[in-house]
């Protein structure tokens, strides 16, 4: 008996594994960027606030490009969008070590790499996958694709740290630019004709009307508000957790392994979330996830700061880290169908990254002004609690057996 009976088709598995592999490379590299903050600051003297601003702009751009890339993928197909995005990502990563000014860092790390990573991320990949498989396979597939990004973080965080120690941060970035080129054959396989898109009719009025209708939908807007908090939470941690570890007196290895553990735990969390959307209403799954984050951060604040505190904290963080993506995408699909899923889910990711901008930038500001992240942790608790409550009024259809949630 198959572990995932809804996935019993070779074409579905090819689509899922290729999409998961692409996001493994782009997200794994991107989610480990916090490891560069310390050595980049030491080498360039740009300052934590400047580097945080560049990363914060990158968080916003990553989200802003998602609906645009999704719209192009919905219109022209995902292959050219993914290819151009990947090349931009490689270019930004390769150019960053040559930069010594704040504007240059914003351009390479904040704009180029963010555009490239965003184009090769959830909105295009989940949309391409959803259109290439039956409805009953989409929930589990989205969980597996999402887990690919987490697996990338688990794999690349310790590798990047070792590369920084052995080759310096510049050599590490150039190495990851080369590794990213491996995604090219994967995106060719994902978009090959062996598993052509499932034909879905164009709704009356096309993409413009679909977006306008969505933006008037109260449930869709509530989904945006909750996802904003998710972005704040993740961007703050992925940017500043390595510095927090250092403030507590621990080595960079503790930081890299904490990020790796987050990625490993989120593999399980993403798979579990993907299966839950076929059993429970996705809004309840999201509410539990956001509520658990508030509790977890509160426990971290009162816990003694040891290496194992960070590792246990990372396990708890990781289980819901990006596991919010499958239920969020499932709600968008249930509300509006999959024809314009890349665009409409891309818009929710834009809200996610507005929160991401604030989480990354305000974290650097807090550290500069206060010498620690204390008020950021409390802001994270409050926002997570609010996000749990915001998802409850979403009008989501009941679960129907054997049908996508």
Residue 362 resides in a domain: yes
Do 169 and 97 touch, CB atoms closer than 8 A? yes
Residue 82 resides in a domain: yes
Nearest by Cα to 320 from 158, 165, 143, 159: 143
pLDDT of residue 226: 92
Place of tokens 């996958």: 129
Residue 289 resides in a domain: yes
Mean model confidence pLDDT for the chain: 84
pLDDT of residue 203: 57
Nearest by Cα to 183 from 72, 24, 66: 24
Residue 168 resides in a domain: yes
* pLDDT tier for residue 293 given thresholds of 50, 70 and 90: very high
| Segments forming the whole domain that contains residue 138 | 11-192+204-390
Residue 399 resides in a domain: no
Residue 125 resides in a domain: yes
Residue 376 resides in a domain: yes
Domain at 270, CATH number: 1.20.1250.20
Do 68 and 211 touch, CB atoms closer than 8 A? no
Is residue 405 pLDDT above 50, yes or no?
no
User: Total structural domains in the chain?
Assistant: 1
For residue 228, the Cα-to-chain-centroid distance in whole angstroms is 12
* pLDDT tier for residue 8 given thresholds of 50, 70 and 90: low
Do 197 and 132 touch, CB atoms closer than 8 A? yes
Least confident of 30-44, 81-95, 129-143, 343-357: 129-143
Segment 329-358 shows an average pLDDT of 84
DSSP letters for 21-58: HHHHHHHHHHTTGGGGHHHHHHHH---HHHHHHHHHHH
**Digit-coded pLDDT (tens) for 123-174:** 788 777 877 777 667 767 877 887 787 788 788 888 998 999 999 999 999 9
Residue 307 resides in a domain: yes
pLDDT of residue 205: 64
Would residue 184 be called left, alpha or beta, if left means φ above 0 and alpha means ψ between -120 and 50 degrees? alpha
**Digit-coded pLDDT (tens) for 249-278:** 998 889 888 888 988 888 888 888 877 877
pLDDT of residue 100: 84
φ/ψ (deg, to 5) at 361: -75, -45
φ/ψ (deg, to 5) at 258: -65, -45
How many angstroms separate the CA atoms of 259 and 310, rounded? 10
Vertex 376, ends 161 and 386: CA angle to 5°? 115
The 3-state DSSP class for residue 100 equals coil
**Digit-coded pLDDT (tens) for 23-32:** 889 888 887 8
98 DSSP assignment: G
pLDDT of residue 125: 85
Is residue 5 pLDDT above 50, yes or no?
no
């Amino acid at each position: 008996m198959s572990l995932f009976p809804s996935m019993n088709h070779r074409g579905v598995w090819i689509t899922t594994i290729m999409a998961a592999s692409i996001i493994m490379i782009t997200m794994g590299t991107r989610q480990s960027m916090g490891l560069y903050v310390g050595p980049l600051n030491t080498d360039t003297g740009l300052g934590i606030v400047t580097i945080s601003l560049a990363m914060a702009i990158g968080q916003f751009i990553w989200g802003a490009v998602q609906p645009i890339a999704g719209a192009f993928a919905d219109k022209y197909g995902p292959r050219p969008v993914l290819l151009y995005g990947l090349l931009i990502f490689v270019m930004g990563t390769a150019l960053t070590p040559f930069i010594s000014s704040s504007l240059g860092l914003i351009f390479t790390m904040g704009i180029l790499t963010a555009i490239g990573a965003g184009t090769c991320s959830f909105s295009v990949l989940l949309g391409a996958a959803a259109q290439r498989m039956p409805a009953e396979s989409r929930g589990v597939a989205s969980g597996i694709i999402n887990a690919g990004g987490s697996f990338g973080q688990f794999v690349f965080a310790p590798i990047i740290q070792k590369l920084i120690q052995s080759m310096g941060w510049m050599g590490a970035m150039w190495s990851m630019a080369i590794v990213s080129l491996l995604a090219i054959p994967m995106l060719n396989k994902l978009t090959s004709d062996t598993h052509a898109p499932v034909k879905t009719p164009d709704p009356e009025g096309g993409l413009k009307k679909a977006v306008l209708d969505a933006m008037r939908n109260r449930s869709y807007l509530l989904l945006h508000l909750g996802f904003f908090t998710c972005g704040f939470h993740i961007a703050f941690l992925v940017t500043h957790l390595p510095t927090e570890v250092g403030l507590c007196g621990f080595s960079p290895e503790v930081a890299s392994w904490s990020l790796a553990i987050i990625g490993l735990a989120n593999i399980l969390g993403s798979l579990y979330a993907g299966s839950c959307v076929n059993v429970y209403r996705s809004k309840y799954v999201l509410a539990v996830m956001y509520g658990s984050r508030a509790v977890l951060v509160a426990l971290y604040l009162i816990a003694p700061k040891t290496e194992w505190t960070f590792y246990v904290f990372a396990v708890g963080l990781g289980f819901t880290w990006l596991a919010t993506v499958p239920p969020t995408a499932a709600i968008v699909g249930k509300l509006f169908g999959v024809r314009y899923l890349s665009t409409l889910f891309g818009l929710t990711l834009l809200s996610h990254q507005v929160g991401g901008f604030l989480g990354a930038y305000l974290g650097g500001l807090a550290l500069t002004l206060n010498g620690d992240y204390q008020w950021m942790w409390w802001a994270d608790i409050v926002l997570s609690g609010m996000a749990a409550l915001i998802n409850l009024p979403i009008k989501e259809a009941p679960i129907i057996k054997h049908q996508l949630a």
